[in-house]
Amino acid sequence: MCIVPSALLVVDVQKDFCPGGALAVPDGDRVVPALNRYIADAVASGWAVYASRDWHPPVTGHFQAYGGQWPVHCVQGSDGARFHPDLQLPLAAIVISKGQAPDRPGYSALEGVTPDGRLLLDDLRDRGIDHLYIGGLATDYCVRASVVDARRAGLHVTVLGDAIAGVEVNPGDSARALQEMAEAGARLLTGPVRPSPESAAARRAPAD
Ligand code: VGL
């Protein structure tokens, strides 16, 4: 039997978070080629690939019109909620939808559910996955929240430093988010190192 302890989580690489979108992350689409390489390696390694998406109802306290912080974005079924067209998700990718509750922002993918309504964490546990490699958008919101929650849930987490980008509402938000993720025990991969089977095995040190 093949034990697959790791998975790739691609966070919110949706049109609305990319240039031209309703809540564009500056240069947000630059994460796409890097993520495509990680996706290809994950597939080659037999890893599960999860792709989270913001999936808001039209009326939510998350939007400025209803007292929240953000312009309308990633409304369920809208064009802006689609994944970036160049993102090469495998057919077997597991889509995690989050942000459906009108009273919660739903930043963390760990609040999200699979297409059959199961929490991401339950799906990970059922597959025996204890290490997530995380990239996507945005460093200072959904990536940060997902990484910190995954660490709280006891998972090993590696942040793909070349495959994340931040909103930077305040300059330095992404750097502070990275610091918070590190303090939560996540590892930051800074170079374009890819999770090949060998390098992944090397990174799963006993102290990990
Ligand atoms: C996000 C801001 C607002 C994100 C979502 O995906 O990081 N950022 N909503």
Record the pTM: 0.91
Domain spans of the chain, in order of start: 6-204
CA–CA separation, 138 and 82 (whole Å): 16
For 20, residues 6+ apart whose C-beta sits below 8 A from its C-beta are none
Dihedral sign for Cα 167, 100, 128, 41, please.
negative
Atom of ligand 1 nearest to the CA of 12: 6
Catalytic residue among 18, 123, 142, 149: 142
DSSP state of 54: E
Ligand 1 centre to CA of 73 (Å) is 9
The CATH code that applies to domain 6-204 is 3.40.50.850
Question: Which conformational region is residue 11 in: left (phi greater than 0), alpha (psi within -120 to 50 degrees), or beta?
Answer: beta
The reply to whether ligand 1 has any atom less than 6 angstroms from the CB of 42 is no
Known catalytic residue at 15: no
Please give the chain's pLDDT, 208 residues, in tens: 445 589 999 999 999 999 999 999 999 999 999 999 999 999 999 999 999 999 999 999 999 999 999 999 999 999 999 999 999 999 999 999 999 999 999 999 999 999 999 999 999 999 999 999 999 999 999 999 999 999 999 999 999 999 999 999 999 999 999 999 999 999 999 865 454 444 444 444 333 4
Q: Check if the beta carbon of residue 131 is closer than 8 Å to that of residue 157.
A: yes
Atom of ligand 1 nearest to the CA of 140: 7
CA–CA separation, 192 and 40 (whole Å): 14
